Amino acid sequence: MGNIRRVFPGGNTSVGFFSYHDNIIDIDRNMLYILKGMPGGGKSSLMRDIGNKAIQSGYNVEFHHCPSDPDSIDGLVIDELKIGLVDGTAPHIIDPIFPGLTDTIVNLGQFIDVELLKLYKTEIFAAKKQNKDAYRRAFNYFKSSKPLYDEIEETNKTKVDFYGINKLTKNVIDRIFSKEPITSSLVGFKKRNLFTSAYTPDGFVDYTSTIIDGIKDRYYLNGEIGTGKSTFLSRIADEAIFRNYHIEIFNNPLIPLKIDSLYIKELDTIISTSKGIKNYIYTTIDLDEYINREHDYFEDLQIFDTLVNRGIENLSGAKEAHSRLETVYKKCINYKGIDEIKEKLWKDILAFE
């Protein structure tokens, strides 16, 4: 049985939908299958089934989940075979870079009964409008939460001993990079950005534990808003890049330019703000030791949480509208043809063994 990692290639954030779909699989690949089709057209099920076949065959698999429906799959990577599959439809449109060489389009739209679909035009248009309106509201709530986060951050910064944190940062960097790097023939991204958590219609979903599992050295980075956790991680990332190491950066699901976790492959080390790391043996780096706790922003945090939760509620409305679209399209699709495509893809993938 192969190992499973779970991540999000995109996120519902304070700046709208934020995509790292170009980080699903590196250009040094055997093949990327780009699935094109329609809602309910079997893209996610096809990738899930092929991923499960690969796991049963002993391959390590990375599932890329959809932030607007965490039960759905947006992408799949089979590590050892350097094979990727991805949903290439909006809002994360992906087209081939080297068609026929490292990329190929799989057209699932060919299995739709267009004449039958026309009977549902009114329902489709109404569901699409509801979906669009719900996303607009969701993103406006997430956007509105950001200035409040910034206010809490700025207030806390005035109470932080950054001289002490800078000394701590240097000590941690010295400790982490004193390790002898693993000598290996690592390939792929030198620097890869993704998300391990997301705000979804089901609430906050965190898959960080699937990344942490199996890593030798784990650090839990603790600290309140404004103590500089993201800056701390950025400085360690810069050092790793300077040393030409391979790193994975997992960004914050609400403020995507902030870092939540950093994995340095050659050192088999992860530093994470995720509380999920507490399920494993870990070392704590506590930035809260450097903040004056004589402050109160409980009311601001309540308002912040309310805005984020209202965003999540509207994501649920968008998901409900998308489910209506899928229900309509499913009535008009020849799934036997899609199953045949799936079996052919699996045979093609095995040819890369």
Distance between CA atoms of 316 and 308, rounded to whole angstroms? Answer: 13
Binned at pLDDT 50, 70 and 90, residue 30 comes out as very high
Predicted confidence at residue 188, as pLDDT, reads 80
| Model confidence at 351: pLDDT above 90 | yes
pLDDT digit string (tens) for 129-165? 999 999 999 999 999 999 999 999 999 999 999 999 9
Does residue 121 have a pLDDT over 70? yes
Q: Which residue has the tokens 């500089």?
A: 228
Task: Please check whether residue 141 is in contact with residue 303, taking contact to mean a CB–CB distance below 8 angstroms.
Answer: no
- Give the whole-angstrom CA distance, residue 93 versus residue 114: 22
pLDDT of residue 213: 87
25 secondary structure, DSSP code: S
Cα of 311 vs its chain's centroid, Å: 18
pLDDT above 80 (res 185): no
pLDDT at 90 over 90: no
Percent of all residues in the chain with a pLDDT value above 90, rounded to a whole number: 90
**Per-position b or e across 74-87, b if 16+ CB within 10 A of its CB:** bbbbbbebbbbbbb
Query: What's the pLDDT at 295?
Result: 66
Q: At what angle do helices 298-330 and 121-157 cross, to 10 degrees?
A: 160
The residue ranking higher by pLDDT, 339 or 293, is: 339
Q: What is the mean pLDDT of the chain?
A: 94
Give the pairing type, strands 247-251 and 191-194: parallel
- Strand ranges (DSSP E) for the chain? 4-7, 10-13, 16-19, 31-36, 61-66, 69-78, 83-87, 103-107, 191-194, 197-200, 203-206, 217-222, 247-251, 259-264, 269-272, 283-286
Q: Mean pLDDT throughout 168-179?
A: 96
